[in-house]
Structure 1
Amino acid sequence: MILTITPNPAVDQTVQIEEDLEAGRVQRSTGAQFDSGGNGINVSQFLRAFDAETVATGITGGFTGYFIEQDLADYDVPTDFVGTDEPTRLNTTIHAAGNEYKLNQSGPDVDPSIVDDIIATAQDHDPDVLNIGGSLPPGLSSDAVDRIASAGDWETALDIHGEQLVELDHGAEYVKPNEVELEAATGVDIDSIDDCAQAARELQSMGFERVLASMGSEGAMLVTPEETLYAPALDVDAVDTVGAGDSMFAGALWAYEQGRSDEDALKTAVSVSSQVVEVHGPSARDLDPEARIDDVRLWSMR
Structure 2
Amino acid sequence: MIGTVTLNPAVDQTMRVDGPLAPDEVIRVEDARFDPGGKGINVSKYLTAMGTETVATGVLGGFVGRHVAERLESAGIATAFVDIEGVTRMNTTVLAADDEYKLNQAGPQVSPADVDAVVEKLRTRSPGTVVVAGSLPPGLDSDAIDRLARAGPWETVVDVDGPLLRELDAEFELCKPNVTELEAATGREITGVESAIEAARELRGDRFDRVLASLGPEGAVLVSADGVVHEPAIDCEVVDTVGAGDALLAGVLAATDAGADDADALHAGVVSATAAVSTQGTTLPSLPEPTASGVD
- Specify the alignment match of 2:256 in structure 1: 256
Between 180-189 and 94-103, the greater mean CA deviation after superposition? 94-103
1:134 maps to what in 2?
A: 134
2:38 is equivalent to residue 30 of structure 1 = no
**Which residue of 1 is the match for residue 9 of structure 2?**
9
1:86-143, Cα deviation, whole Å (9 max, x unpaired): 1100112233443443321100012222111011111111101000000000000000
TM-score when scaled to structure 1? 0.92
Single out whichever of 277-286 and 105-114 deviates more from structure 2.
277-286
| Sequence identity percentage | 47
Could you list the per-position Cα deviations for residues 164-198 of structure 1 after superposition, in whole angstroms to 9, with x for gaps in the alignment? Answer: 11111112011111111111111111011111001
Does the 8 A contact of 1:174 with 1:208 survive in 2? yes
Counterpart residue number, 2:77: 77
Aligned to 2:125: 125
**AA partner of residue 30 (structure 1):** E
Q: Secondary structure at the match of 1:210?
A: strand
In structure 2, the CA distance between the partners of 1:33 and 1:178, relative to structure 1 (3 Å rule), is same
Greater alpha carbon shift after TM alignment, 101-110 vs 278-287: 278-287
Q: Tell me which residue corresponds to 1:183.
A: 183
Q: In the alignment, what sits opposite 1:229?
A: 229
Matches within 5 A, 1:22-171: 23=23, 26-171=26-171
C-alpha distance in structure 1 between counterparts of 2:10 and 2:43, whole Å? 14
Partner in structure 1 of residue 205 of structure 2:
205
- 1:148 Cα offset (Å): 0.8
Deviation readout 1:254-282 (Å, 9 max, x if unpaired): 12212221121111111221222222222
- Alignment length, in residue pairs? 294
CA deviation map 1:140-171 (0-9, x unaligned): 00000000111000011110111111111112
| Structure 2 segments unaligned to the other structure (5+ residues) | none
Partner Cα distance (1:198, 1:189) in 2: 10
Provide the C-alpha distance between the structure 2 equivalents of 1:271 and 1:285, rounded to a whole number of angstroms.
11
- 1:8: how far off? 0.3
Moved more, 49-58 or 272-281: 272-281
TM-superposed deviation, 1:290: 4.7
* Residues 203-231 of structure 1 deviation map (CA, whole Å, 9 limit, x = unaligned): 11242001111111110101011201111
Q: In 2 relative to 1, CA 91–257 (structure 1 residues): closer, same or farther, beyond 3 Å?
A: same
